[in-house]
Structure 1
Amino acid sequence: MNKWTLAVLYAATVCGISSIYAPQPLLPVLAAHFGVTEATTSLVVTATMLPLGLAPLAYGFFLDAVPAKPLIAVSLALLACCTACLCLAPDFTWFLADRVAMGLLVPALLTALMTYLATTASAATLRRVMAVYIAVTVFGGFFGRFFSGLSAQFLGWRIPFACLAVCLGVCAALCTLLPPDGRAAFSPIRLAHAPQVLRKPGFAAAYLVVGLLFFVFSGMLNLLPFRLGRLEGGYSPLRAGAMYSGYLMGIIACLTSHRFARPLGGPTRTMALGAGLVIAAVAVFSLPSQAALFCSVFVLCSGMFLAHSVAPGVLNGAEKEHKGLVNGLYISFYYSGGALGAYLPGFALDRYGFGAAAGMLALAAVAATLVAARLDVRAFSGDAAAK
């Protein structure tokens, strides 16, 4: 796989991930513009994230015969159209419906991108290519948030979506020039094997850990612009976008986590450490200071991606037969937790105040840490020994 192909695929990944998170720093602006509550506005993130929790399993039934290359181009083109339509939404209902449509397209795009990379890269470069892909997805999460806050500050909330639509369209055109992918179609996911996978020692617990952690992660980052507005200095789109700078710690965590796993005593202990850092992040996030808010994102992303970067390896290393299903379940638990986290803490904030929202996040973080700590002692021991 040449450098030009990788550059196009990684650019498409950044644009696709950015389309999920671009509205997040603009939630107070959107709430004021459309005249809806904070909790209702949070649905624009949930609406796009929820299909990501369901699609890895549901898509397996009808993507069996779809080659990766055309699916990438078509998904990008449709996503560009939907993103452009956000600028024209006459009311919140239309805006939310458009975000739901985007949520149905993003899983197809990301599934196709991962499949293309996995089947086109050589065996010698596959691990490096996929490691960079994960780092690129993290960068896309930061870039979408920061760029939307920066451009909205000076040009209005519609401009970020218009620019992103153009970028998605350019990526769609470039992807039509890619060489054919190495495999003709996707491998179907057999849901009949799901109970067998979930019954394996430690699997359900590991899935629960990542779901809870992404619940906290999404909840904190969704609450961030509203929390910012309640602190001295106030809210602005640019200030909110800059607050997500800590997201870049995720890139460092993803690329270095495996170096920490051995001295920490193994990957499951690394997951427990990551979960513990998430508890600390919620505590710092709760302090009434913009400086604390800024620092909390660095701690949150360090912990979240420390756990996230090692968890798939633990699960794949312990399951030899149904790797597609293992990864499909992982993504489903991950994004289902994120979809709930994007809405429920905002609902608590709207009804009961910040203390209730922060308490919900803290409980989820503590639960994730306790479950992860049990993994250290009881789970994967036979598989780890065999390995």
Structure 2
Amino acid sequence: MLLNFGRVDQARTNRIRIALLLGALALFALLYAPQPVLPQFAEAFALAPGTVALLISAATLGLAVAAIPLGALAEAVGRRRVMIGALLVAEVLGLLLPWIPVFPVLVVVRLLQGIAIAGLAAVATAYLAEETGGKNLGAAMGLYVAGTTIGGMTGRLLGGVVGDFAGWRGGVLAVALLAAVCTAFFVVLLPAERNHQRKPLSLGPLFGGLRAAVRDPVLYGPYLVAALGMGSFVTVYNVLGFRLTAPPLLVPPALAALLFLAYAAGTVTSTLAGRAADRYGRTRVLLGGLAVTALGLLLMLSGSLIVIVLGLVVFTGGFFAAHSVASGWVGVRASAQARSQASALYQLAYYGGSSVGGVVGGAAYGSWGWSGMTVLLCCWLAAAAAAVWLAQIRSRRSRTAGARRAPAVAAAASAGSTAEHGRCRSS
């Protein structure tokens, strides 16, 4: 009987893993579907690169703004319900996108799609932690993260290759159809919660945790890495297609889309960076990741396609290494009562940086070309590195101050205990 129960429980865990893998694949494929065909959007609507980048920025802005409210809603109405509803709405909007002929309406629909996507992105990890837990959690989380990487890469590749011969409408529709299949399996496979205790919506604990997360100056280091690093990352991937398909390179769009395979470098470096941070220290690895990111930018200044590809791989690997360490820093640094809010603020900075940075970086490319844009992005990365360095100094000072206070507190407690003991004896 116990053996059968164990098999049933393992089967349920496997269903959760597969469902969240497919959900993550659909989620990130939809989020970045327009990116490989941005040059086609620019040509079809006669717009500058910075303007068509709004199709990415609007979605990531919606995700950033809606993550905290939808996370709180899931606590009250159930995580499965929110995730399924959110992904279904995002999918319907994705299927509508190719048929919209007006660019401002496209941007609004992408904003709404980003808000819907937040319903899964903000809730999935909490669902996994509660429903798998223990020895199964690491494998389940790894599979979910793999789904985000595969989804982002697959959406870009499929959209770019199909878009080369079917236009932007065909590219976006192909990604939406792939996501529809994944969404259908996600809805069927995802089991209802067993361990979640629903809580009424309460703003007190939410704002209390947010206050604590905002007041800690050390956390501004990783927040700025998220904002400025992701702004740089999205800018490069937004405008690289414009550079590659234009003279003198004249790379066919389908071939240019294959460069999104460089995205896979982040899967490797994010894992290696976490181990290196444990061994050599968080600050060193984080600063090293930012330096490697900047090196990739400088390599991409070359006019050689081979060197550009190498630079993109280096740039992508460096960014994901820095992102991995910075997000882990937030979880370690934040207090227990503010941890979820601090993580939400990191996500807000991450996707907010994507939204604002993508537009600003695209405008810089349109005005100053690739070289001018590179200078701007290197300045952003330098500012992120300075924020990390200052955060480390503040962290060291807070630890030193805490170490100095500890003996004084212990002495005061000891003195109070001695006095109390004396009073007891005299009485």
TM-score, reference length from structure 2: 0.83
Residue 61 of structure 1: CA displacement?
5.3
User: How far apart are 1:62 and its partner, in Å?
Assistant: 4.1
- Asked if 1:2 corresponds to 2:13, the answer is yes
**Residues paired across the two proteins, number:** 385
**Matching residue of 1:274:** 289
Cα distance in 2 for residues equivalent to 1:347 and 1:141: 24
Equivalent residue for 1:291, pick from 306, 309, 325? 306
Structure 2 residue corresponding to 1:70, chosen from 67, 76, 81: 81
Q: What does residue 25 of structure 2 align with? A: 14
Match of 2:106 among 95, 110, 116: 95
- Report if the CA contact (8 A) 2:49-2:239 is conserved: no
Shifted more, 146-155 versus 11-20: the winner is 146-155
Q: Is the 1:243–1:293 contact (alpha carbons within 8 Å) kept by the matching residues of 2?
A: no
CA contact (8 A) 1:268 1:375 kept: no
Structure with bigger helix share is 2
8 A Cα contact 1:203 1:315, kept in partner: yes
Alignment correspondent of 1:219 = 235
1:369 to 382, 385, 395: 385
Comparing 235-244 with 5-14, which one deviates more in the overlay? 235-244
Identity %: 25
72-81 or 185-194, which moves further after superposition? 185-194
Q: In 2, Cα distance between the equivalents of 1:190 and 1:11? A: 30
Equivalent residue for 2:257?
A: 241
Q: Deviations over 1:251-295 (max 9, x none)?
A: 1122222222244x2122211111111111221122223222212
Instruction: Give the AA of the match of 2:49.
Output: E
Residues 100, 106 of structure 2: 8 Å contact kept: yes
Alpha-carbon distance change, 171 to 135 in structure 1, aligned in 2, over 3 angstroms: closer
Indicate the RMSD between aligned Cα atoms, in angstroms.
2.4
Residue pairs, 1:12-161, within 5 angstroms: 12-60=23-71, 62-161=73-172
Q: Deviations over 1:86-141 (max 9, x none)?
A: 11111212322221121111111212322321221122222332233223312222
Name the structure 2 match of 1:179: 191
Distance in 1 (CA, whole Å) between partners of 2:168 and 2:257 is 12
How far residue 197 of structure 1 moved from its aligned partner, in angstroms, is 2.1
Which runs of 4 or more aligned residues in structure 1 lie more than 6 Å from their structure 2 counterparts after TM superposition? 186-189, 383-386
> Equivalent residue for 2:332?
317
Match of 1:379, SS? helix
- Distance in 1 between residues matched to 2:129 and 2:240, nearest whole Å: 35
Unaligned runs of 5+ in 1: none
| Cα deviation, residue 235, structure 1 | 4.1
Bigger mean CA deviation after superposition, 180-189 or 130-139 = 180-189
How far, CA to CA, are the matches of 2:71 and 2:20 in structure 1?
A: 22
Aligned residue identity for 2:86? S
- Residues 270/185 of structure 1: CA separation in 2 closer, same or farther (3 Å cut): farther
The aligned amino acid for 2:191 is P
Deviation at 1:14, TM superposition (A): 0.9
* Larger Rg belongs to: 2
Equivalents in 1 of 2:224, 2:208: separation in Å?
A: 20
User: 1:365, 1:285 → 2: CA distance?
Assistant: 16
In structure 2, stretches of 5+ residues that fail to align are 1-11, 404-427
Pick closer, same or farther for the CA change 1:260–1:126 going to 2, 3 Å: same
* Cα distance, 1:353 vs structure 2: 3.1
Contact 1:42 1:222 in 2 (8 A): yes
**TM-score under structure 1 length normalisation:** 0.91
Distance 2:81 2:399 in 1: 39
Pair 1:162 & 2:178 matched? no
Distance 1:338 1:380 in 2: 30
Question: Per-residue CA shift, 1:22-69, capped at 9, x if unaligned?
Answer: 211111111111222222111100110112222223435544422121
The answer as to 2:225 corresponding to 1:209 is: yes
- The alpha carbon displacement at 1:75 in A equals 1.8
Q: Select between 69-78 and 376-385 the one with higher mean Cα deviation.
A: 376-385
Separation of aligned partners in 1, 2:254 and 2:59: 23
Which amino acid in 1 is paired with 2:196?
A: R
After superposition, the C-alpha distances for 1:187-206 in whole angstroms (9 at most, x for unaligned) are 86713433322332511122
